[in-house]
Structure 1
């Protein structure tokens, strides 16, 4: 599915902004300032809306990629 269809900004900009918020726990204004330094003028309320919309989606994608290698533990007695 294309979650980024009809958005004004590129999907890379959106994922970087949401990733900064989730990974480094920055404020929306800090992320807006970081993006502005890189030439992307984004208001902090836009970053807020991106986080609200895309954080659950990115979490589901991450969860699919990082599945557990095991489901149950079995312990046998050894003497």
Structure 2
């Protein structure tokens, strides 16, 4: 309660705005609209400052309460440009569509896949039951070196984009 001193709005409003931002991954303007529907006029800039100040504590609480990810991960990599240079966005999603990890690399080889897998295992606390990927050879290198007992499903080309859970509609 004392950390909310000298703020214009009641601590319950600030807590709600920060909780919504971290729980549902909404933009500051979306939260501004949600609060406006409840008759609370607050700027998105104030919400941004609240999230900077109070956000880390809420993020820790939400992460602690998180029940964990599913036992099947879908891995995919996407080409992106950053300052005119090509990079690769490696991403992992569980079977429920929750983003497990996202990682940006400048290369797309076995070492990059190994580094992504290490991050993935560290953030998840262990290997999932199944990992669904495309036939990128880098995944096989990382599996061989890091996860010998893991069942990795390598999807053949006729099954179109089974690993791409970001754009798939079930």
TM over 0.5: yes
Corresponding residue number in structure 2 for 1:70:
none
* TM-score, normalising length: structure 1: 0.72
Higher relative contact order (CA 8 A, sep 6+): 1
TM-superposed deviation, 1:54: 0.2
Q: What is the alpha-carbon distance in structure 2 between the residues aligned to residue 28 and residue 59 of structure 1?
A: 16
| RMSD (CA atoms) | 1.9
Structure with the higher fraction of residues in helix conformation: 1
Give ranges in structure 1 of 5+ residues lacking alignment.
67-79
Structure with the higher fraction of residues in strand conformation: 2
Q: What is the alpha-carbon distance in structure 2 between the residues aligned to residue 22 and residue 59 of structure 1?
A: 6
Query: Are 2:15 and 1:15 aligned?
Result: yes
Q: What is the alpha-carbon distance in structure 2 between the residues aligned to residue 48 and residue 36 of structure 1?
A: 16
Q: What is the alpha-carbon distance in structure 2 between the residues aligned to residue 26 and residue 19 of structure 1?
A: 10
Name which one, 1 or 2, has greater alpha-carbon Rg. Answer: 2
Corresponding residue number in structure 1 for 2:26:
26
Moved over 6 A (4+): none
